[in-house]
Structure 1
Amino acid sequence: MFRIPRAAAALAATAAVFTLAGSTVATAAGTSAPVRQTASPAVQDIVCTVNDNGVNYRGGPGTNYPVLGQVNKGQKMNAKGREGSWVMGDLWGGRTGVWIHVAYLDC
């Protein structure tokens, strides 16, 4: 039986979260495999941590979207998607579907 090392499995799960359905992702064997349209129950949200104080979170992926509020260093967010340099997710204990620039997150 072939077993995928834990690090490779985690990498594949991480890539699947930020990959559009119908595209491919690299496997541990170095080949590519199609990404299924439905998420596997084993794939969990990626948790990101805000790395600065007074970081704006916005209603969309860019500075042209309205600022909905601010968060401080240490705030956690479940990342749900990414567009360019912006990560969309749900703040722990706060708003959902907010966007934060990747420079202010450690994921």
Structure 2
Amino acid sequence: MFSSVKRAAIGVSLALAVGGLALGGTSAQAAGQDAASHRQQAAAGAASLGALSYTCVTGNNVWYHNAPSSSPGSRLGQVNAGQGFNITDSSGVWRKGNLWGGPSGVWISSTYLGICN
């Protein structure tokens, strides 16, 4: 015995199948070509972008600070190479931002930031 949900799903599937047959060869071919074109465009776009990249820390034991200063009094903690960092502001060589999975609103010298992927 089919439940009403299963009957509805079968009815929708059947309607889609019949609707697809009603398209005919020319319309179905055009739809297939259009889909193939979109796939090619998406692949070309992804290839031109390369791998996803992000700003990250490039050294180990890099201090992050509460102000754009190398003063020991402004140090909050340390991070290591590969740590993601979203930049929100800058002042000279300093970049303010948010450490992925860590504190936000911290400052790191741009000397220790680069692009990772």
Q: TM-score, normalised by structure 2?
A: 0.50
Deviation at 1:104, TM superposition (A): 0.1
For 2:88, give the aligned amino acid: K
1:62-73 aligned within 5 A: 62-64=69-71, 66-73=74-81
Q: What is the aligned-residue identity percentage?
A: 43
**2:61 matched to 1:54?**
yes
Give the aligned partner of residue 36 of structure 1: none
Give the Cα–Cα distance (whole angstroms) in 1 for the partners of residues 104 and 59 of structure 2.
20
Structure 2 segments unaligned to the other structure (5+ residues)? 1-53
Question: Which one of 67, 81, 88 corresponds to residue 96 of structure 2?
Answer: 88
For 1:84, give the aligned amino acid: G
**2:82 matched to 1:74?**
yes
The structure carrying a bigger helix percent of its residues is: 2
Give the Cα–Cα distance (whole angstroms) in 2 for the partners of residues 87 and 49 of structure 1.
12
Question: Which one of 106, 109, 116 corresponds to residue 101 of structure 1?
Answer: 109
Deviation at 1:61, TM superposition (A): 0.5
- Measured against aligned partners, the alpha-carbon deviations of 1:4-34 in whole angstroms (never above 9, x if no partner) come to xxxxxxxxxxxxxxxxxxxxxxxxxxxxxxx
Q: TM-score, normalised by structure 1?
A: 0.55
Bigger radius of gyration: 2
- In angstroms, what is the RMSD of aligned CA positions? 1.9
Deviation at 1:48, TM superposition (A): 1.5
- Measured against aligned partners, the alpha-carbon deviations of 1:51-99 in whole angstroms (never above 9, x if no partner) come to 0000000000011351100000000011001000000000000000000
